[in-house]
Structure 1
Amino acid sequence: MGGTTSSTGRGGGTSLGDLPENCVAEVMLRLDPTEICGMARLSRTFRGAASGDGVWEAKLPRNYARLLAAAAAGDDSEEAAALELEAIPKKEVYARLCRRNRLDGGTKEFWLDKVGGGICMAIYSRALSITGIDDRRYWNFITNDESRFHSVAYLSQIWWFEVRGEVEFFFPEGTYSLFFRLHLGRPFKRLGRRVYSADHIHGWDVKPVRFQLSTSDGQHAQSKCYLTDPGVWINHHVGDFVVKNSNEPLNVQFAMVQIDCTHTKGGLCVDSVVIKPQYLAQKMAARTSSV
C-alpha cells in the first residue's frame, strides 16, 4: 500500500533520476544547448545524458571537423595541438567553437551561437581594403572599447569613399546575412560618460551609400541608404546569401561605396563586417533604408 518504492529502496514516488539515461538523452536531442546545460543540474542521470557525444554531435554543424581545424590553425597556443585529437568529447568541441576563434592574424574571428548552433563571423576594419587608409589626412585607426577588436577606422574627410573586403570560409549550410557595423561621429568617454564628437560629420545626406555582396557560386545582393542617426552603432544590412554545401569553401566579397566626387563626406567610424545566420540577423538592430 502507498507509494512506489524507488530504486534506492526508500519509500516514495519515482523521481526524475529513475528515468533511463538513454530516454533522457532522447529528450535532450529536442532541446537547445542552454536548456541541456540547465537540465544537467537536475540529477546524476541528467548530467550523464547531457555529457553524451550523441547529444552534442546533433547540435554541432555537420562540418564541425573543418571548423575545429580552422580554430586550431588560428590558435598559436599549446592547446591547438589537442584540438586535433579525435577523442575530444563533442561537448568540449561545442564549447571550443563557441569561443572567439581568430583567423588571419587576428583580423577575423568566428564563433558558434550558443543557443542556435549557427556560425557567426566578424571581419575587422584592418582586414578591409579602404581607399586612402594610408593617408592620415583622411583616415586614422582610433582606440575604441566598443569594438570587438578594440579599435576602429575613423574617416575625417574624403571625396572618394570605398571600402571592400572578402572572406573564404567553410560556412555550414544555411542562410546568412551580412552587415557593416558603422557609427556616425567619433565616440569617446568624458568624465566616465559616453559621448561623441560630431565635428567631422558631413556629406552622408547628399547621396546614399551603396552596399554590395557577391559569392563565388554566383549569388548577388545590394542595397543602399543614407547614413543617419549619429552617436549610435548601426548594423547596415548589405544582403543575404545561401550556403548549400558546407564541405566546399565559399568566397564572399562585399563593399560599401559613395564615389560621387561632387562633395566630401566624413565623420564615420568603420568597425567591422558581421556575418550571422539569418535567424540571428532578424534579432539584430539592423538598419537599412530603401531609396
Structure 2
Amino acid sequence: MDQIQVGDSNSGGGNGRKDEIVSRFDTLPEDCISMVISHTSPRDACVVASVSKTVKSAAQSDLVWETFLPPEHSSSLAPRSLNLPSKKAIYMSLADDSVLIDDGKKSFWLEKSSGKKCYMLSAMDLTIIWGDSPAYWQWITVPESKFEKVAELHNVCWFEIRGKISSRMLSKGTHYSVYAVFKRASHRSHGFDHTPVEAEIGFVGKEATKKFVFLEAGGTDPRGGYRYSGVSHGAVSRAFRTGRPWMRFPREEEGESAESGVGRSVEEPKERGDGWSEVELGKIYMSDVGCDDGDEIEIALMETKMGHWKSGLVIQGIEFRPVKEGEIRVTK
C-alpha cells in the first residue's frame, strides 16, 4: 500500500504529492487496484476506499474480500452466502457473529480489523475427567450458549479439563490469547473461591507454559489467609508442593520480578458482554516458520491437589483470540 500513502507530513507539498499518487493509482485498471488491495488487510481495504470512487469500487470488490475469507470453511459459510450480496458482506457477517463447524463442536469467526481466525472449542470438544458420569458432570442446554450442550459441574474433587487444536487452524504469524469461558450455575459455585486452578498451554511434546488462575473473583480465605491475587506464580506453586496452600505470602518474593516472568499475579476472571465470564489461561505464538501443520496445541485446566469438593460451574468452552496490538509483550 505504499503507492497510496501520503508520505512525510512534515515535507513541503505533501498534499500535492498525495493528489499525484492518487491520480496515478486511479489510472490503473480496477482489477489491478483490487489485486494490490487484496495483499493488505480488511482494515486497510476499508480505509483506502475513501481515496476515490475508483479505488472504493476496487476495494469493495469480491476479488479483494474473497482473499480475506478462509477457504477451509467455505462449506460452513454457504448458508450465509445465499442471503448476502457480496464477499464483503459475508466477511462482515462472520466478523460480527460466529459459525459452528466440526459437527457443532467448534465455533469459528474472524477478528474484524485483521481477518485473523478465532475459535472456541466447546465443552463437547474437550476431555473432561468424569465428564461422562452424571454423578459428577451434567450436560445441559442453556439459551445463551453458542453450542447445543454445555458441561455443568455437579460435584468433583478431581477437576481436570483438557483440549487440543491443530496449529493449521490458527493464523500464522499471530500471537493468541487462550481463555476459559464459563459461568456460575443457578446456585452459587463452591470450592473455587479460595483455590487457584493451574492452567497449562503449549505444543504437544514440548514444555508447556504454566500459570495459576481463579475461576471465581474476589474474597479472602475464611481461615484467615490471604487470597492469591497479586502473589507470584512461583510462590503459589511452592505452597502446593509443600502442602501449605493457605500460608500467607508477600506480594512478591525475593528474587522474583515481573521481568523474569515469575512474579506474575494470579489471574482473576472477568465478565463478558454475553453473560459469560472468562479468564486468560495463557498466550501462544503461531510463527510463520517452525510450526508444522501437523502440530497440536494442548490446553489444560486442573485442580487435583487440594482434594476438596467443587461444584456449580458451567463450562462453555476454551477460546482462542488474536492478541490486540499494544497488548503483545516482548520478553527477553
What's the TM-score, normalizing by structure 1? 0.66
Shift of 1:182: 1.9
Code of the aligned partner of 1:202: H
- The answer to whether structure 1 residue 47 and structure 2 residue 56 are counterparts is yes
Deviates more, 1:150-159 or 1:28-37: 28-37
Q: CA RMSD in A?
A: 4.0
Shift of 1:166: 0.7
Shift of 1:51: 3.3
Q: How do 1:246-265 residues align onto structure 2 when only pairs under 5 Å count?
A: 248-260=293-305, 262-265=307-310
Shift of 1:139: 1.4
SS at structure 2 position matched to 1:47: helix
- The answer to whether structure 1 residue 197 and structure 2 residue 197 are counterparts is no
Structure with the larger RCO, 1 or 2 (CA within 8 Å, 6+ apart): 2
Contact 2:124/2:149, CA 8 A, preserved across alignment: no
User: Whole-Å Cα distance in 2 between the matches of residues 23 and 31 of structure 1?
Assistant: 18
SS at structure 1 position matched to 2:56: helix
Give unpaired runs (5+ residues) of structure 1: 1-13, 81-88, 187-195, 284-291
Contact 1:20/1:45, CA 8 A, preserved across alignment: yes
Code of the aligned partner of 1:20: D
In the alignment, what sits opposite 2:145? 147
User: Whole-Å Cα distance in 2 between the matches of residues 145 and 237 of structure 1?
Assistant: 24
In the alignment, what sits opposite 2:225? none
In the alignment, what sits opposite 1:287? none
Pair 1:53–1:162, CA change in 2 (3 A): same
Deviations 1:167-197 (A, max 9, x none): 11412222111111122x22xxxxxxxxx43
User: Whole-Å Cα distance in 2 between the matches of residues 266 and 280 of structure 1?
Assistant: 37
Match of 2:282 among 239, 255, 275: 239
In the alignment, what sits opposite 2:171? 172
Deviates more, 1:111-120 or 1:267-276: 111-120
Pair 1:263–1:238, CA change in 2 (3 A): same
- The answer to whether structure 1 residue 273 and structure 2 residue 318 are counterparts is yes
Pair 1:68–1:118, CA change in 2 (3 A): same
In the alignment, what sits opposite 2:247? none
In the alignment, what sits opposite 1:181? 181
Shift of 1:218: 2.8
Contact 2:199/2:212, CA 8 A, preserved across alignment: yes
In the alignment, what sits opposite 2:230? none
User: Whole-Å Cα distance in 2 between the matches of residues 161 and 256 of structure 1?
Assistant: 8
User: Whole-Å Cα distance in 1 between the matches of residues 138 and 27 of structure 2?
Assistant: 58
User: Whole-Å Cα distance in 2 between the matches of residues 95 and 42 of structure 1?
Assistant: 21
Q: How do 1:1-291 residues align onto structure 2 when only pairs under 5 Å count?
A: 20=26, 22=28, 25=33, 33=42, 36-37=45-46, 40=49, 44-52=53-61, 56=65, 60=68, 67-69=70-72, 71-72=73-74, 94=91, 98=95, 100-149=98-147, 151-170=149-168, 171-173=170-172, 174-183=174-183, 185-186=184-185, 196-198=186-188, 201-216=189-204, 218=206, 220-229=208-217, 232=271, 233-244=276-287, 245=289, 248-260=293-305, 262-279=307-324, 282=327
Code of the aligned partner of 1:178: V
SS at structure 1 position matched to 2:103: helix
Deviations 1:23-81 (A, max 9, x none): 99599679853564476588642432213577557x74xxx7xx412x1465787979x
Aligned pair count? 241
Contact 2:175/2:284, CA 8 A, preserved across alignment: yes
User: Whole-Å Cα distance in 2 between the matches of residues 270 and 281 of structure 1?
Assistant: 30
User: Whole-Å Cα distance in 2 between the matches of residues 241 and 207 of structure 1?
Assistant: 25
What's the TM-score, normalizing by structure 2? 0.59
- Fraction of identical pairs, as percent: 24
Contact 1:145/1:151, CA 8 A, preserved across alignment: no
Contact 1:219/1:241, CA 8 A, preserved across alignment: no
Deviations 1:175-234 (A, max 9, x none): 111111122x22xxxxxxxxx432xx2111343111111214735211112332399432
Question: Greater strand percent: which structure?
Answer: 1
Shift of 1:105: 1.1
Deviates more, 1:164-173 or 1:225-234: 225-234
Deviates more, 1:260-269 or 1:117-126: 260-269
User: Whole-Å Cα distance in 2 between the matches of residues 182 and 277 of structure 1?
Assistant: 19
User: Whole-Å Cα distance in 2 between the matches of residues 39 and 145 of structure 1?
Assistant: 40
SS at structure 2 position matched to 1:260: coil
